[in-house]
């Protein structure tokens, strides 16, 4: 996970030493290794590895430089299709391609958004970097916050693909190649389409194919790792990743547990999974961690408010991995996204002619005394038959009317982009800008600990395939994640694969509030101005859970604003 910074002038001018050094100070702090600077008439670049052996700068020819932040792999193949080959390959990648003669540059990011890349247009040129705060150090970059971004954040909806928390700083969208020159900018995005590879396969064949794709994704994620750390919970997703590790790969599993709260403590169950797979296990006791503590130097990500109050738990896991000698760590993050959101089981089963699966599901629902008018599958089928669009989220009602309509129109337009998938809403949830920001959210922490971090479920081929499957393969007879559980039964006893995961961190968070209610109020107050400006005072159809979620979002935003003052 390399640190990148580039300054390019269309007029062949030079950056002031003060502005360059200001950005460089922030970039230098993100890597434990010395970086390299290169410069020429009208351009200057800096790159630093965060792991031994990384080579962030590659020269394709005498006039072409590539700054690359990507997973370990072979050197770049020169040629006109070099960027396209990187993006189609589907691995974690972001980069800057610079023609030192013409000063044209291209910014690009992989289709799953697993690496961060942002840019800002300045008079006569552009600057690009791995994080927003690097660019914000430049005196010509305005650090006013972006209202639309914060409005989306405060109602728990994804921001626009190119937006960042700062109005002048833009994000390179996942799968986008953005060409920049003195004549303007031109962007092109990869359109992720469903696949028909699963059609005609039996259930057993689909389970086999899932295993092949997951094992391939894990093998790629751990390529070249001396030792792999697995962030292991008691859930199905991370257990699948652990079971898919290549044979003989040295590994260690780390779990954060809460011995003081047995009802949410996943430590014993995770240890059982690790022992069954033959992986050494370490427990990070999180009882004493205090997410809201004012005195604690917490590892807040200065680039984005999407850094949540759970980050301290992540930091504890990183430290455990580092102490165990892990050079790469993987997790089950994003596996939940690939399951299901809405029950579209009738439509998806009919579309793919899975008559036997539909018959089984009808029989089970009738025996379970499920009332048809309460079944979301029936409601969604009726809505499709009447050519009605999917209803936008009720959370839009949390916003004041002007922002509500802006976000509603954008949400519906984005949903239309994924209409070709069997479950458009599911596809949008997996491929929206929030998911991409979350994918690259480990960037800051990986830099700090000299490690590579990859979520194997964010593999492009695996994601396309899982999103193209009928709903009954994800949820069958009341069993969630049916497909994953069936494959995992080949590696773990059914007593493990069939149990539900019922972890809830509410007691941990509530304890932090009870210990320091003044701190809670202080953090919330930091976000009050934005909440009052963007949010409705009395949103329609607001439930108690809604109010709690709104409060936590405001607290996390306040924590970011508070910690970012000196960033």
Q: In this structure, is residue 361 part of a structural domain?
A: no
The count of domains in the chain is 3
pLDDT band at 478 (very low <50, low <70, confident <90, very high): confident
C-alpha to C-alpha distance for 141 and 129, rounded to whole angstroms: 13
pLDDT of residue 325: 92
Q: Are residues 203 and 262 in the same domain?
A: yes
What are 402-424's pLDDT values in tens digits? Answer: 999 999 999 999 998 998 888 88
Q: In this structure, is residue 369 part of a structural domain?
A: no
Is the pLDDT confidence value at 152 over 90? Answer: yes
Reference 266, options 312, 242, 235; nearest CA is 235
Q: Are residues 333 and 474 in the same domain?
A: yes
Is the pLDDT confidence value at 300 over 80? Answer: no
Q: What ranges make up the beta strands (E) of 159-245? A: 170-171, 176-181, 184-189, 228-231
Q: In this structure, is residue 132 part of a structural domain?
A: yes
Is the pLDDT confidence value at 373 over 70? Answer: no
Q: Fill in the DSSP letter of residue 432.
A: S
Task: Tell me the CATH number at 437.
Answer: 3.40.50.620
Q: Are residues 33 and 132 in the same domain?
A: yes
Q: Do 27 and 46 touch, CB atoms closer than 8 A? A: yes
Q: Do 283 and 271 touch, CB atoms closer than 8 A? A: yes
pLDDT of residue 294: 55
Q: Domain range for residue 552?
A: 518-564
Q: Are residues 532 and 513 in the same domain?
A: no
Q: Which residues contact 213 (CB under 8 A, 6 or more apart)?
A: 459, 461, 462, 465
pLDDT of residue 255: 93
Give me 29's structure tokens: 């702090």
Q: Are residues 540 and 466 in the same domain?
A: no
For the residues 165-170, what does the mean pLDDT come to? 96
C-alpha to C-alpha distance for 430 and 337, rounded to whole angstroms: 6
Q: In this structure, is residue 556 part of a structural domain?
A: yes
C-alpha to C-alpha distance for 69 and 30, rounded to whole angstroms: 14
Q: Are residues 270 and 182 in the same domain?
A: no
What are 428-452's pLDDT values in tens digits? Answer: 999 999 988 888 777 777 777 888 8
Q: In this structure, is residue 233 part of a structural domain?
A: yes
For the residues 121-146, what does the mean pLDDT come to? 94
Q: Which residues contact 391 (CB under 8 A, 6 or more apart)?
A: none
Q: Are residues 81 and 138 in the same domain?
A: yes
pLDDT of residue 168: 96
pTM of the model: 0.89
pLDDT of residue 272: 92
Q: Are residues 547 and 401 in the same domain?
A: no
Please state, in angstroms and as integers, the Cα–Cα distance from residue 74 to each residue in 228, 239, 249, 476, following that order.
20, 30, 21, 42
The backbone region for 184, taken as left when phi is positive above 0, alpha when psi lies in -120 to 50, beta otherwise, is: left
Q: In this structure, is residue 380 part of a structural domain?
A: no
Strand, coil or helix: 254: strand
């Amino acid at each position: 996970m390399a640190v990148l910074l580039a300054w390019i002038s269309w007029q062949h001018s030079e950056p002031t030493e003060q502005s360059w050094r200001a950005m460089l100070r922030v970039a230098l702090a993100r890597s434990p290794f010395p970086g390299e600077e290169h410069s020429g008439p009208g351009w200057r670049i800096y790159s630093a590895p965060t792991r031994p052996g990384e080579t962030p700068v590659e020269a394709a020819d005498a006039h072409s430089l590539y700054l690359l932040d990507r997973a370990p792999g072979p050197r770049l193949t020169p040629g006109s299709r070099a960027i396209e080959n990187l993006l189609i390959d589907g691995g974690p990648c972001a980069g800057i391609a610079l023609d030192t003669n013409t000063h044209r540059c291209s910014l690009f990011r992989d289709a799953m958004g697993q690496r961060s890349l942002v840019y800002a247009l300045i008079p006569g040129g552009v600057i690009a970097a791995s994080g927003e705060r690097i660019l914000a150090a430049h005196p010509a970059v305005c650090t006013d916050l972006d209202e639309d971004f914060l409005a989306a954040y405060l109602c728990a909806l994804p921001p626009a693909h190119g937006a960042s928390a700062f109005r002048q700083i833009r994000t390179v969208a996942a799968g986008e190649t953005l060409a920049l020159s003195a004549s303007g900018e031109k962007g092109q995005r990869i359109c992720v389409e469903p696949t028909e590879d699963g059609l005609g396969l039996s259930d057993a064949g689909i389970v086999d194919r899932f295993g092949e794709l997951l094992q391939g994704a894990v093998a790629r994620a751990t390529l070249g790792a001396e030792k792999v750390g697995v962030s292991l919970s008691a859930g199905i997703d991370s257990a699948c990743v652990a079971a898919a590790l290549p044979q003989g790969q040295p590994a260690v599993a780390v779990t954060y547990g809460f011995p003081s709260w047995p009802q949410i403590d996943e430590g014993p169950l995770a240890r059982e999974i690790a022992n069954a797979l033959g992986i050494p296990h370490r427990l990070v006791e999180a009882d004493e961690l205090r997410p809201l503590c004012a005195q604690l130097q917490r590892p807040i990500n200065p680039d984005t408010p999407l850094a949540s109050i759970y980050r301290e738990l992540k930091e504890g896991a990183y430290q455990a991995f580092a102490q165990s000698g892990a050079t790469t760590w993987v997790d089950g993050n994003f596996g939940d996204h690939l399951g299901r959101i809405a029950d579209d089981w009738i439509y998806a089963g009919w579309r793919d002619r899975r008559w036997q699966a539909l018959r089984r599901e009808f029989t089970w629902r009738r025996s379970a005394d499920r009332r048809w008018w309460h079944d979301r599958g029936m409601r969604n089928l009726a809505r499709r038959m009447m050519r009605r669009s999917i209803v936008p989220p009720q959370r839009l009602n949390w916003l004041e009317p002007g922002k509500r309509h802006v976000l509603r129109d954008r949400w519906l337009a984005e949903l239309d982009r994924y209409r070709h998938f069997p479950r458009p809403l599911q596809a949008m949830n997996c491929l929206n800008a929030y998911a991409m920001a979350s994918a690259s959210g480990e960037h800051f922490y990986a830099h700090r600990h000299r490690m590579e971090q990859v979520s194997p479920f964010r593999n492009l081929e695996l994601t396309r395939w899982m999103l193209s499957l009928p709903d009954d393969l994800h949820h069958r007879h009341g069993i969630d994640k049916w497909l994953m559980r069936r494959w995992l039964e080949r590696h773990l006893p059914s007593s493990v694969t069939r149990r539900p995961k019922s972890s809830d961190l509410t007691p941990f968070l509530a304890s932090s509030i009870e210990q320091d209610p003044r701190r809670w109020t202080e953090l919330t107050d930091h976000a009050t101005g934005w909440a009052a400006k963007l949010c409705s005072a009395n949103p329609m159809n607001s439930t108690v859970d809604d109010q709690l979620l709104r409060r936590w979002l405001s607290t996390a935003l306040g924590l970011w604003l508070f910690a970012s003052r000196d960033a």
